[in-house]
Structure 1
Amino acid sequence: MPADDLLTPASSTVPPTPSRPSPWAPLRPLVLRLHFYAGVLVAPFLLVAAVSGTLYAATPQLEDAVYRHQLHVVPSAAQVSLADQVRAAVEAHGGGDPVAVRPAPTPSDTTRVLFSDPSLGESERRAVFVDPGTGAVRGELTVYGTSGVLPLRTWVDQLHRNLHLGEPGRLYSELAASWLWVLALSGLGLWAARRVGARRATRPTVRGSRARTRTLHAVVGTWLAVGLLGLSATGLTWSTYAGERVTALRSALSWQTPVVDTSATGHEGHGEHAGHTSSRPVGAGAEASPEAFAQILAAARVAGLTAAKIEVKAPAAPGAAWKVDEVDRGLHTQVDSAAVALTATSAGALDAQVVDVVRFEDYPFAAKLARWGIDLHMGSFGLGNQLALIALGLGLTAVVVWGYRMWWQRRPDPARRLAVGPPAHRGAWRQLSRPVLVAVVLVTAVVGWAVPLLGVSLVAFVVVDVVLDVVVGRVPRVRPAP
């Protein structure tokens, strides 16, 4: 988002009214230089992230329409038991033990019975969709992540996350998120400084296409600033390198999201069933029967997991506790979790007892903010959330385009259609006093450590800037003939 002329004087014919310089004045050229370089070099990544993020925000309704047969059914007065639904899915899938079950949230929705598949990617599972009213199988699709998105949204999500390039591709989105907050804050500062300068000036304002572009770029960017800062912060939380720093910070401050203890395998010391020596623990494998999923769900409901959207997970190892998660991330967040120990009595009956519960209301406040922030970023709070994300994405796209247009409009020779304007003036750091320069260096070092890709790319910008300064300084200037 090149904005190298945000502080260009409106006119040189009338001298400005003398005024006492503000403490901010020495920093303006440095911030302008930073905003210019970041805008020119990082804005393409922001543009891709903005477009792909806008597409993702618009996909829930499209996904619902494309996969309507698998997702929705005509409600029936009677309901087939959950065990029979799981049994029908296992038969349609060709056997194998389910790894999880998501019961139908409403009679008009389908139940999802999930199976692992080594041929699928990370966090992907095969889902068999079952009509809860008739037990008929409605289809089978690949689902991704905790949100359980289907192939269409998964494709758009991976485009936004890593450009379908796998783990290396995540660097693009992390670079964009790392610089987005810098561009938003620096642009906000430059625009505020220009507004203050305009109120102090007595000269008339110059009109023109470049001025209009600059105004659009700055005003829209200012309106979007808070939302862009939120997208940057939440995007960094699950990035590769900055995400590690965030995780370490949350751990040091005890801000982690609590998780249920699924290592509990029996009833010892847990409620009225403690001491039943005739029971043996049941975990994954053949004993994770369709009836077991129904038994686990019933126990979790009694324990207070009341969300319509819920997932029952079989344990990965025999003897471990099962896990039940609420997965409703709408306006009324329901993400409680329970660990349930399942035992088989000597008579062969199954007995389920909740051994640990983690409720969202007991999360640390920082963990709640992280949950809400990520869900806002993903558009989980309904149509209003989606529309806000779409507006942010379209607005950021426009700001990037206006930034490049403004750079092009500053070209010295308007006849050269492929030329661009010169960068902001070099050597801005030389105007800083030593204390301010030391403070800038220290802050930059801390931020560069906390956000590694920002630090590395900033060093690269500085190196390029120094090299250009040296090269330009060595190029002899040709004076025009008298």
Structure 2
Amino acid sequence: MKAAADQLNSAARAALFWRVHWWAALVATPFALLAALTGLLYVFTPQIEQHLYGHMEQVAPVAQARPLDQLVAAAQAAAPAGMELKQVVVPAANSDALKVIFAPSAGGSDPHAHHHGGQHGNGMGAGPAMPAAAPATGDAPAPAGVPVGASGAKPLAAKRSGFGLPAGALTVYVDPASGRITGTLANDARFSQWAKHLHSRLLQGEGWRWMIELGASWMMVMLLTGVALWWPAARWPRTGLRGRAFWREWHTFAGVALGIISLVILATGLTWSKYAGEEVRALRDLTGQAPPQMPAGLHSQRQGEAMPLGWQAALDAARRIAPAASLQLTPPRNPHGIWRISMADRSQPALRFEAALDAYSGQPLYTSDWSQQTAFGKATAIGIPFHRGEFGWWNQAVLLVFGVGVLFSLLSGWLMYFKRRKTGQLSLPRVPAQAWRALGAGWWLTLLGCLALMPTLALSAPLVLLLDALAGHNASRPVASP
């Protein structure tokens, strides 16, 4: 009797999973197709940008770079009026140009104001954009980027550095050997920004990001129910099959074989989505998995007649404690401010580094490296660059296979359905009344967790249940032909 009951419960669960899988596919397919196609385009971003911007980003190998103060001064002279110096990115490779990043001043006009800022996609590990650095004044650049201000100015709270650029950012590229300006490029005009906005919100405004998030949420449901349907009879695909049986075997194999990559891609995509990202961040903070934060209130102490550090002196101080990687330097905002140093290369997460330096002595006031990252921080520091294909050619190859696999899985699934579907019917499986009770505690916890962490799923699920009810619970009930 128990064996018979277990068999009935198993069949009921399979029918429920099949039906949910179908509805998830119906909701997710349009968005998933767009995400897969635009993602495949994004995979080739490094090669496209190398072709477009290589002449300004790459230089002849540098044996000896000029002092950083001279290079920054050259960039300041080339920057448009109304732009403030924000950050300098010092490359690790001797064939890369120095990047000097500017953004519109508080009182200046933003020539790219009609674009959305370049802060989207910082990922879970990145905080707010770096605060503004005051512009240098006079003919010569201020040695440390420290603005002239009242000596009694209050120290500003330190903020966490990140990989994002300020809104309206403009990068001036400088050859470290000669000080020659190799090019100037607005961040919003980069191909990668266009491809990112196409992939994340189809070139629409910020309010349209829910579309891709909705698709990703229901793709997660597709993945979970697909694995649940495959698991009881798990096997390698059989050969020699024809027709619908052939498509079923390879549809299942593609979905499951790409399951781990799918989970990583979907999870990392949802972490920086608009609504699910907020829920994941809240859970992260609640469980003590937030990344280490630079303490608020860090400030520099001027001893006697000590002069503030120049750019080269700050870089030298940073190199004494920072890894041999590309470094992002953000100068102090006032005489009590600090130098903020962070690693600027996402493709080397294990070199992740952040520090605060005294603006006069160069002594570290705070440091944080990979060993101090939480498990969640390490996972996202690896997962997000992987999602973006930033680990090199092998990463791009994996994402290319994944994107093609997603397209095959979606199209083969619908091909199977229409081969099975009877004219005038939805041809969905009948779901027995005990199906929901047969799920078990594990599946219920998974369901509740998905609804809690994916708000667009929670909001759309009642509508899907209503549509399912209107379609009729009887699988053989006829519906109007399209």
Give the alignment's TM-score, normalised by structure 2. 0.78
In structure 2, C-alpha distance between the alignment counterparts of 1:373 and 1:353, rounded to whole Å: 33
Q: What is the RMSD computed on CA atoms of the aligned residues?
A: 3.1
Structure 1 stretch displaced more, 121-130 or 390-399: 121-130
2:315 to 297, 301, 309: 297
- 1:237 is aligned with what amino acid? T
Paired positions, count: 418
**SS in structure 1 opposite 2:184?**
strand
**SS in structure 1 opposite 2:254?**
helix
Deviations 1:57-79 (A, max 9, x none): 22112211221111111224442
In structure 2, C-alpha distance between the alignment counterparts of 1:253 and 1:293, rounded to whole Å: 39
Aligned to 2:394: 384
Matched, 1:310 2:327: yes
Contact 2:197 2:203 in 1 (8 A): yes
In structure 1, C-alpha distance between the alignment counterparts of 2:173 and 2:296, rounded to whole Å: 27
Deviation at 1:129, TM superposition (A): 0.5
Aligned to 1:103: 90
**SS in structure 2 opposite 1:323?**
strand
**SS in structure 1 opposite 2:310?**
helix
The 5 Å alignment of 1:187-202 reads 187-195=226-234
- 1:130 is aligned with what amino acid? V
- Which has the greater radius of gyration? 1
**SS in structure 2 opposite 1:99?**
strand
Matched, 1:161 2:195: no
Aligned to 2:129: none
Aligned to 2:183: 139
Matched, 1:71 2:57: yes
Deviation at 1:446, TM superposition (A): 4.2
Deviation at 1:341, TM superposition (A): 2.3
Aligned to 2:303: 276
Matched, 1:257 2:291: yes
**SS in structure 2 opposite 1:355?**
strand
- 2:311 is aligned with what amino acid? F
Aligned to 1:216: 250
- The alpha-carbon distance between structure 1 residues 365 and 136, as it changes in their structure 2 partners (threshold 3 A), is same
In structure 2, C-alpha distance between the alignment counterparts of 1:310 and 1:445, rounded to whole Å: 42
In structure 1, C-alpha distance between the alignment counterparts of 2:426 and 2:403, rounded to whole Å: 28
- The alpha-carbon distance between structure 1 residues 441 and 464, as it changes in their structure 2 partners (threshold 3 A), is farther
Deviation at 1:471, TM superposition (A): 11
**SS in structure 1 opposite 2:341?**
strand
- The alpha-carbon distance between structure 1 residues 355 and 433, as it changes in their structure 2 partners (threshold 3 A), is closer
- The alpha-carbon distance between structure 1 residues 318 and 22, as it changes in their structure 2 partners (threshold 3 A), is farther
Structure 1 stretch displaced more, 357-366 or 442-451: 442-451
Deviation at 1:470, TM superposition (A): 8.3
Aligned to 2:340: 323
In structure 2, C-alpha distance between the alignment counterparts of 1:126 and 1:433, rounded to whole Å: 55
In structure 2, C-alpha distance between the alignment counterparts of 1:97 and 1:394, rounded to whole Å: 44
- 2:222 is aligned with what amino acid? L
Deviations 1:425-452 (A, max 9, x none): 34x1513374758986665344312211
Deviation at 1:242, TM superposition (A): 1.3
Matched, 1:451 2:454: yes
In structure 2, C-alpha distance between the alignment counterparts of 1:341 and 1:373, rounded to whole Å: 33
- 5+ residue gaps, structure 1, are 1-17, 145-149, 200-204, 268-274, 283-290, 344-350, 414-418, 478-482
Contact 1:180 1:229 in 2 (8 A): no
The 5 Å alignment of 1:208-247 reads 208-247=242-281
Contact 1:58 1:390 in 2 (8 A): no
Contact 2:9 2:434 in 1 (8 A): no
- The alpha-carbon distance between structure 1 residues 242 and 331, as it changes in their structure 2 partners (threshold 3 A), is same
**SS in structure 1 opposite 2:96?**
coil
- 5+ residue gaps, structure 2, are 105-109, 120-166
- The alpha-carbon distance between structure 1 residues 22 and 103, as it changes in their structure 2 partners (threshold 3 A), is same
- The alpha-carbon distance between structure 1 residues 186 and 472, as it changes in their structure 2 partners (threshold 3 A), is closer
- The alpha-carbon distance between structure 1 residues 370 and 94, as it changes in their structure 2 partners (threshold 3 A), is closer
Matched, 1:334 2:351: yes
- The alpha-carbon distance between structure 1 residues 223 and 441, as it changes in their structure 2 partners (threshold 3 A), is closer
Deviation at 1:22, TM superposition (A): 6.6
**SS in structure 2 opposite 1:133?**
coil
Deviations 1:380-432 (A, max 9, x none): 2221111111111111011111122222223435xxxxx8x624134x15133
**SS in structure 2 opposite 1:25?**
helix
